[in-house]
Amino acid sequence: MLNFNDTEKAFAYKTDKQLKKARFLFRIMQYNGLVKIAAVLTPLALKIHLPIKGIIKKTLFEQFVGGTSLQQSSNVIDKLEKQNVDVILDYGVEGGEYDEAKYDASLAEFIKVIRFAGTKKNAPFISVKLTGLGSTTLLAKLNLNAYDHFKFASDERIKEKIAALGTSEKAAWEKLVERTEQICSVARELGVGIMIDAEETWIQDPIDFVALNMSRKFNQNKAVVYNTLQFYRHDRMQFMHAAYQDSLDHGYQYAVKIVRGAYMEKERARAEKLKYKSPIHVDKEAVDKDYDEAIVFLIEHQENCSFIVASHNEKSTLHAVQISNQHKAPGKVYFSQLFGMSDHLTFNLASAGFKVSKYLPFGPIEEVVPYLMRRAQENSSVAGQTSRELSLIREECKRREI
Ligand SMILES: Cc1cc2nc3c(=O)[nH]c(=O)nc-3n(C[C@H](O)[C@H](O)[C@H](O)COP(=O)(O)OP(=O)(O)OC[C@H]3O[C@@H](n4cnc5c(N)ncnc54)[C@H](O)[C@@H]3O)c2cc1C
């Protein structure tokens, strides 16, 4: 029986000390102003080598990250396995402009992660950000215009943009594609799934383009490559239908992770500054409606789809449970929450027999800081989520009398 209010199950993997720390952290994150300042100052402080790594490690890092390395994350992975929870391993490299050697080093690291995942019973997926494998500036250059994003099948515009690149940029693009292909190829060989994360709209078109080509190539027999759709975008429902149609046309499994999206404030601010129509839905209701409709669509088309409902929203999670029960497909839906968030969903879903995982980032502190800042902002700006999280933690503290 599914019961999201069972805090004993939800926090069974946390010691009293860890739980009290989580309570402290979620309390602090409620102060929106403080989080905003921290999000700006923390990367700067790290850049000028102020000694703040210790404090980050003991707070946000411990709550939201598995460890600084794969080995260090093993403990967490094994603990989750005991509770029938999978992990999506996320080597936290993203963004920034680096030289090709750094991207090659990231590629080697991703391959290490896939090999490691292959040795674990509960690590069926790893996630990849293409901004960790190639230049963000180059991705931005290949993006289509703000009004008219990649339309999927038969969209030739990105190919035209690639053809117009100069020699060294073209070589850099080919390297990026090659690195992604190598990752997908090793993943297929070892039976590990690759989730390509969705990023900001001003670089997302070429990411979708790569995801499409990898899906066509690697998903012929089973789902290996999952693209990510952010339903806070008003164009993603149409995009999903076109993507699904493409999988039928080319005879491969449509594989997708659906999220609401992590960059809302940044997206809106940029659209306002550069005076283009925001790619984000006007309100939360519209996002929720699209998200829940996407769940229905994917369950209804389950024969040709593999999908991950990646959300902390209780209503959407219950909705997915109900629709999948109606379609007699409870085993087909795969749920996922971020490590350190919504344990009441993860562990109660697992205990009721659903397939569920934690998205588990790991990496050196300075590399995971952008991820940590997003988590802090998400937990401060989405007031409902934080207070729900905090009230459950408080309830469990009360139950344990700590
Ligand atoms: C496993 C996993 C993988 C993820 N991968 C990615 C990824 O690849 N790319 C990515 O961008 N994010 C990713 N995320 C993060 C995800 O986008 C956020 O966790 C998510 O937006 C929070 O939404 P929620 O579904 O948990 O529900 P809720 O808490 O109900 O929704 C909050 C979200 O709704 C949207 N929203 C809130 N207010 C408004 C408003 N006024 N108008 C419009 N929209 C609004 C925002 O997206 C906000 O984050 C991932 C999350 C998980 C769990």
User: How much distance in Å is there from the Cα of 260 to the middle of ligand 1?
Assistant: 4
Q: Is the shortest distance between the CB of 197 and ligand 1 below 6 Å? A: yes
Tokens 């009290």 map to which residue? 20
Number of H helices, E strands in the chain: 18, 8
196 has which bridge partners? Answer: 128
Retrieve residue 182's tokens: 């190598």
Rg value, the chain, Cα: 20
Q: Is the CB of 233 under 6 A from ligand 1?
A: no
pTM here is 0.93
310 Cα: distance to centroid of ligand 1 (angstroms): 9
Nearest residue by C-alpha to atom 33 in ligand 1: 260
Give the single-character DSSP code of 258.
Answer: E
Cα(193)–Cα(22) distance, rounded to whole angstroms? Answer: 31
Is the distance from the beta carbon of residue 336 to the nearest atom of ligand 1 less than 6 Å?
Answer: yes
* Cβ proximity of 85 and 122 under 8 Å: yes
- Domain residue limits, the chain: 1-51+380-402, 66-362
Contacts of 215 (CB under 8 A, 6+ apart): 225, 227, 247, 252, 254, 255
Question: C-alpha 244: how far from its chain's center?
Answer: 20
pLDDT at 154: 56
Do residues 320 and 4 touch, judged by C-beta distance below 8 A? Answer: no
Going by CA atoms, what residue is nearest to atom 44 of ligand 1? 284
Rounded to an integer, what distance in angstroms lies between the CA atom of residue 377 and that of residue 384? 13
- Cα–Cα dist 163/161, whole Å: 5
pLDDT at 43: 82
The 10 Å CB-count burial string (b at 16+, else e) for 368-386 is bbbbbbbbbbbbbebeebb
What are the residues whose beta carbons fall under 8 Å from the beta carbon of 357, sequence distance 6 or more? 85, 86, 87, 88, 122, 124, 125, 334, 335, 336, 337, 346
Give, in order, the Cα–Cα distances in Å from 298 to each of 76, 125, 353.
Answer: 31, 19, 20
- Euclidean distance between CA atoms 109 and 311, whole angstroms: 27
Ligand 1 atom closest to Cα of residue 385: 29
Q: Does the Cβ of 287 fall within 6 Å of ligand 1?
A: yes
50 CA → ligand 1 middle, Å: 31
The distance of Cα 56 from the centroid of its chain, to the nearest Å, equals 21
Q: Are 146 and 274 in contact (CB under 8 A)?
A: yes
Res 152: pLDDT:
64
Ligand 1, atom 30: closest residue by C-alpha = 313
Q: Which residue matches tokens 């990250």?
A: 65
Considering the domain delimited by 66-362, tell me its CATH architecture: Alpha-Beta Barrel (3.20)
Residue recorded with tokens 């006007």: 282
- The preferred substitution site among 202, 259, 319, 342 for testing ligand 1, maximizing ligand atoms within 8 Å of CB, is 259
* Pair 220, 209: CB distance under 8 Å: no
CA of residue 200 to ligand 1 center, whole Å: 13
SS3 state of residue 134? coil
- The predicted pLDDT at position 331 comes to 78
Q: Which residue has the tokens 């493409």?
A: 246
Helix (H) or strand (E) holding 150: none
Q: What is the mean pLDDT of each run of 10 residues along the chain (402 residues)?
A: 91 93 88 79 82 83 92 94 96 76 93 96 96 95 78 75 95 97 98 97 94 96 97 95 95 97 93 92 97 97 95 96 88 92 96 95 88 82 68 94 92
Joined tokens for residue 368: 């995971």
Burial of 161 (0-12, 13-18, 19+ CB in 10 A): middle
Between the CA of 196 and the centroid of ligand 1 the distance, in Å, is 16
| Amino acid identity at 190 | L
What is d(CA 313, CA 318) in angstroms, rounded to the nearest whole number?
9
Mutate to test the pocket of ligand 1, among 257, 382, 389 (most ligand atoms within 8 A of CB): 382
* Residue 88: CB atoms within 10 Å: 25
Measured in Å, residue 164 CA sits from the centre of ligand 1 at: 35
How many angstroms separate the alpha carbon of residue 238 from the centre of ligand 1?
19
